[in-house]
Amino acid sequence: MNKPRGTEKTVYRAKFSSITDTDICNAMNSLGEPNRNEALSVDARQELDLRIGCAFTRFQTKYFQGKYGNLDSSLISFGPCQTPTLGFCVERHDKIQSFKPETYWVLQAKVNHEKESSLTLEWDRVRVFDREIAQMFLNITKMAREAKVESVSKKEKAKQRPLALNTVEMLRVASAALGMGPQHTMQIAERLYTQGYISYPRTETTHYPENFDLKEPLRQQANNPYWAETVKALLSEGVNRPRKGHDAGDHPPITPMRAATEAELGFTEIMPWQSIPLEESLPNCEKGDIFPVSEVKLLEKQTNPPDYLTEAELITLMEKHGIGTDASIPVHINNICQRNYVTVESGRRLKPTNLGIVLVHGYYKIDAELVLPTIRSAVEKQLNLIAQGKANYQQVLEHTLDIFKRKFHYFVDSIAGMDELMEVSFSPLAATGKPLSRCGKCHRFMKYIQAKPSRLHCSHCDETYSLPQNGTIKLYKELRCPLDDFELVLWSSGSRGKSYPLCPYCYNHPPFRDMKKGMGCNECTHPTCQHSLSMLGIGQCVECENGVLVLDPTSGPKWKMACNKCNVIVHFFENAHKVRVSPETCESCDAALVDVDFNKAKSPLPGDETQHSGCVFCDPVFQDLVELKHAATRHPMHRGGQGKRQGRGRGKGRRPGGRPNPKRPKDKMADLAAYFV
């Protein structure tokens, strides 16, 4: 054993790529020092994955576990590499679900040969999407009784030799050709390595070094019953150097080190499944030959959606986007299978489960970077720079943790967004929800889920619409929003509180710039809609600066108007038959005038009059009929506590965005998550 000279260190590194006598002896005779930068890079990767994974996994598992009866996973895990891996699978699923087939037409002709069976000709145009044009081509070709050979061409095809085998390519080939999962493949490869059959199976390199002895591995295969003749021919005729591939500076490509009775090695002569497929043999013909046409027809077909990702395709995407290393890729794919996020279908295709789909959609809804490969790819580049000594370990670690710490806190504050998707997919309450109002997109009934947070769900469109909380929801006269055709619903906090109609779509997707998410029709600025603020607003609130008193058209015969910002309610015109907001305004206070039609038996007007128009605030006839009150209870006017008033009309004490301060978690699991990040 030769130690490096001029050092008294006791820890050395022996580098070898195969468990053979020669490699072990050479490694012990050329000991080196451990690479501190590479060790720091590994430490950084482990610490980042552990702390980030633990924080997100523990929080979301604790939050969702036991909340839904049919949630089929005991551990809802998150991983910086695992989650983007799942994202690739769900992205393909979404493309399949959103695919709309298109009809196209193909012209097909068959000709006869003297002694040959009928021959099907391929259309040079391939296909057309216009039936009239296709029919025109059919009419033209139908007139022909013979087909003339215009030209004859022959091509010689050659397939390039494969690159030397690295880990990722081994995983792809094993999945596509042998039907083996990545995790199983790595287990077999590790066993072959420890038994001395192959070199180290974890490598990114596809290039043999110039001093690599290619003949020695071949000699080990000279007596193999399957390819002995091929090997002997190579040894006698000389070995061509392999194609130059990528040198990652780690281990040489995976190489067989000794013969085995059951193995598959070589190229097309001994790997016929990789050979160029033989095309259909054509009859001998020359330019000018004539073939009688036996049939010409038009075939109607449809475009097909993409299929689910195979393991081999997923491995390619992970390698392309820098998700995981050659050693960890099988672990990440195995994890999403074990967590029941995907199932392995026939052909080793990965189909996402409902849980996997909801998780990815939830991440996209809260923070798309949690599932996109971009941020992890950037982290991997920084880790590689640490290994090369070009980046500071502590700075990379602190910077990355700071980014994910912010993302984690935002994720905790926004978990209700994922909760909405979870409840729709897994809660039995969603199945028992009752049809309430029609969707403006598909015009089918949406189900009203009464459990908090209450919402509407369209199963056909797979869309969920949030609703105001702490009140009752019912259909509003089957009236529809003029913007999106959704049926309106009425929110009410009770007979002594306020109520207002709202459009489920506008409530979640504000149609105008001056509107915010969570606003009902009493704050909508549509200029002509009969339910909007423009048509029902009467005047400025008497107690808050920003609010407007809006007529509640459903409150009769105990009519009232309520502030759309605070809890002020104004009762007026009890037992009136009809109350309508006039387009005219008061000259004194600029409030909208009100037209009132009283019942004849209970009219407070002099002279048995039943109709009067005037200003609620200035008209002396109306002054004794107006009573100012406050809502019986303080209640949030918007989803999830948005708009909750600490003082009348001001919204004091709220955080930006209107969300209340979240309660500090009391469970140990969440405290641990806070500790990790």
Spatial strand order in the sheet of 445-449: 434-438, 445-449, 455-458, 463-466
Whose tokens are 């780690």? That residue is 250
Closest CA to 411 of 347, 363, 361, 477: 363
What contacts 24+ positions apart, CB below 8 Å, involve 127-134?
127/301, 128/104, 129/102, 129/103, 129/104, 129/105, 131/103, 131/105, 134/105, 134/107, 134/298
Spatial strand order in the sheet of 146-148: 119-121, 103-111, 290-302, 146-148
Which DSSP letter does residue 628 get?
E
CA distance 191 to 416: 46
Q: Which two tokens stand for residue 66?
A: 């036991």
CA distance 242 to 256: 15
Q: 3-state SS string over 591-602?
A: CEEEEEEECHHH
Spatial strand order in the sheet of 537-540: 537-540, 548-551, 560-563, 568-572, 626-630
SS3 458: strand
CA distance 534 to 528: 7
* Residues with active-site annotation: 200
Confirm if 677 and 49 have CB atoms less than 8 A apart. no
How would you class 668 by CB atoms within 10 Å of its CB: exposed for 0-12, middle for 13-18, buried for 19 or more?
A: exposed
Which DSSP letter does residue 607 get?
G
Which DSSP letter does residue 435 get?
E
**Distances in Å between the alpha carbon of 638 and those of 453, 462, 526, 635?**
11, 23, 19, 9
Q: In this structure, is the dihedral angle defined by the CA atoms of residues 10, 13, 18 and 20, taken in order, positive or negative?
A: negative
